């Protein structure tokens, strides 16, 4: 008999087209593929509840699994999020009392609900955390921001599920967790993400970049949010163009988000429209074809950059240009498999100088080395999730 899982999901923005309109997702492959894995598996079956401001709708899967989309509207986002939290806590408790479930599995924001409802009903619980952006605030001991903006993130640490699984993405969630909860039995398990097998094979089929194109092509693929720090790449391009006279280049920023206007205004202010263009977020399956047109990819995230886009860029044989912060430097080494320099006040100046120095150098060994590294670390999603759920149920 299939194991039954109550799955508490967030309304991740890049998945809204898929959740609400049955269109291709535009990101968060770890969550999308979790649903696909569980919804097509003979040994598992889930019921997922997701609140949203638009529709009441049921999405069904081949094995009978269901995503129940529930409509709840409120004009203030953070109040809406609190209302969703309270309703899901109440509803989860009722569902576990009335029906037999083998596991309650809470994604991100809802890991605390999984912990509480599971504890109240003696059902094993898992909290699944997709990295953290608290790294810098913990380092700086910015307690006001931590206990306001990140209140629910900390709550998921203070009241942990029976098993906490976090993405091994360089943000060092284990250290953040230990900062707020020092109990040894509660420490999280860190796992790398997986990758779509067809997409993985396609990326590996690309030849590695050996030299810069006649017009060097750099890209930055990420949500346009503060912690993704696309402004650092814009400032680096400014240095390359105006200080190092590298004018035969093109920089493409791919993504959508709250900082779109800020970043476009920054490009205008620095008079870089000739060199920098913006593309809205694209369906995830289109990313390999886009990467095939690029020479290098920037990753300057706050608190670590080891995510799916970096894996995909490396597997596609593109040059990796990143910042050594949190756990990123554990895997990526300057001049060996990437261009990487430490997080510092003069990071922009140092990185621009580093890139300019490598303009005439054959970097094919770096591209090949990063491809081999990632190919050995990141499996297909099927293998990745089989490992996770065997670990959970064993």
What per-residue confidence (pLDDT) applies to 119? 96
Average per-residue pLDDT for the chain: 94
Q: How confident is the model at residue 285 (pLDDT cuts 50, 70, 90)?
A: confident
**What Rg, from alpha-carbon coordinates, does the chain have?**
22
Residue 342: pLDDT over 90? yes
- Report angle CA 208, 210, 216 to the nearest 5 degrees: 105
Query: What pLDDT digit, counting tens, does each position of 224-237 carry?
Result: 999 999 999 999 99
Phi and psi torsions of 72, nearest 5°: -150, 120
Q: What is the mean pLDDT of residues 182-204?
A: 90
Non-local (6+) Cβ contacts of 277 within 8 A are 250, 251, 252, 253
What per-residue confidence (pLDDT) applies to 63? 97
Q: What is the mean pLDDT of residues 158-165?
A: 96
Residue 98: pLDDT over 90? no
Q: What is the mean pLDDT of residues 52-70?
A: 96
Q: What is the mean pLDDT of residues 373-384?
A: 93
What per-residue confidence (pLDDT) applies to 388? 96
What per-residue confidence (pLDDT) applies to 131? 84
Q: How confident is the model at residue 304 (pLDDT cuts 50, 70, 90)?
A: confident
Q: How confident is the model at residue 27 (pLDDT cuts 50, 70, 90)?
A: confident
Query: What pLDDT digit, counting tens, does each position of 318-339 carry?
Result: 999 999 987 899 999 999 999 9
Query: What pLDDT digit, counting tens, does each position of 34-57 carry?
Result: 999 999 999 999 999 999 999 999
Q: How confident is the model at residue 291 (pLDDT cuts 50, 70, 90)?
A: very high
pTM score, two decimals? 0.84
**In sequence order, what are the beta bridge partners of 220?**
253
Q: By percentage, how much of the chain surpasses pLDDT 70?
A: 100
**In sequence order, what are the beta bridge partners of 106?**
8, 127
What per-residue confidence (pLDDT) applies to 99? 83
- Order across the sheet with 57-60: list the strands: 57-60, 66-71, 44-52, 3-8, 103-107, 125-129, 163-167, 189-191
What per-residue confidence (pLDDT) applies to 167? 92
- Order across the sheet with 339-342: list the strands: 276-279, 249-254, 216-221, 296-299, 319-324, 339-342
Q: How far apart are CA 191 and CA 385, in angstroms?
A: 10
Q: How far apart are CA 203 and CA 314, in angstroms?
A: 9
Residue 170: pLDDT over 90? no
What per-residue confidence (pLDDT) applies to 75? 92
Task: Evaluate whether 200 touches 380 at the Cβ level (below 8 Å).
Answer: yes
Q: How confident is the model at residue 139 (pLDDT cuts 50, 70, 90)?
A: confident
Of 80-84, 164-168, 182-186, 190-194, the least confident: 182-186
What per-residue confidence (pLDDT) applies to 94? 95
Q: How far apart are CA 53 and CA 60, in angstroms?
A: 20
What per-residue confidence (pLDDT) applies to 200? 92
Q: What is the mean pLDDT of residues 366-381?
A: 94
Query: What pLDDT digit, counting tens, does each position of 260-273 carry?
Result: 999 999 999 999 99
Spell out the domains of the chain, with CATH numbers in brackets. Answer: 3-194+379-393 (3.40.50.2000), 197-377 (3.40.50.2000)
More confidently predicted of 284 and 30: 30
């Amino acid at each position: 008999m299939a194991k039954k899982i109550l799955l508490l999901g967030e309304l991740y923005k890049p998945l809204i087209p898929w959740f609400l309109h049955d269109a291709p997702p535009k990101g968060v492959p770890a969550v999308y593929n979790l649903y696909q894995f569980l919804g097509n598996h003979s040994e598992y079956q889930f019921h997922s509840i997701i609140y949203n401001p638009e529709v009441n709708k049921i999405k069904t899967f081949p094995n009978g699994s269901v995503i129940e989309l529930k409509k709840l509207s409120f004009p203030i986002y953070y109040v809406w999020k609190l209302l969703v939290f309270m309703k899901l806590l109440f509803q989860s408790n009722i569902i576990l009392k009335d029906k037999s479930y083998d596991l309650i599995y809470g994604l991100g924001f809802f890991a605390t609900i999984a912990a509480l409802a599971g504890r109240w009903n003696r059902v094993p619980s898992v909290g699944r955390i997709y990295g953290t952006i608290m790294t810098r605030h913990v380092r700086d001991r910015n307690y006001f921001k931590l206990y306001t903006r990140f209140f629910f993130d900390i709550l998921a640490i203070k009241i942990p599920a029976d098993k906490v699984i976090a993405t091994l993405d360089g943000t060092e969630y284990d250290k953040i967790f230990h900062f707020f909860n020092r109990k040894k039995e509660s420490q999280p398990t860190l796992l790398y993400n997986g990758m779509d097998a067809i997409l993985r094979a396609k990326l590996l089929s690309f030849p590695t970049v050996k030299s810069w194109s006649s017009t060097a092509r750099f890209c930055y693929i990420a949500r346009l949010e503060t912690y993704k720090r696309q402004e650092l790449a814009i400032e680096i391009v400014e240095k390359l163009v105006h200080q190092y006279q590298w004018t035969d280049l093109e920089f493409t920023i791919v993504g959508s988000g709250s900082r779109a206007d800020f970043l476009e205004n920054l490009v205008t202010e620095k008079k870089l429209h000739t060199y920098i263009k913006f593309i809205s977020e694209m369906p995830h399956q289109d990313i390999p074809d886009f990467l095939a047109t690029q020479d290098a990819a920037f990753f300057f995230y706050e608190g670590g950059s080891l995510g799916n886009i970096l894996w995909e860029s490396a597997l596609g044989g593109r040059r990796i240009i990143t910042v050594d912060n949190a756990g990123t430097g554990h895997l990526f080494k300057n001049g060996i498999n990437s261009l990487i320099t430490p997080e510092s006040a003069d990071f922009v100046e140092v990185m621009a100088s580093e890139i300019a120095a490598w303009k005439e150098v054959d970097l094919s060994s770096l591209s090949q080395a990063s491809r081999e590294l990632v190919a050995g670390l990141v499996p297909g999603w099927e293998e990745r999730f089989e490992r996770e759920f065997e670990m959970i149920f064993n």
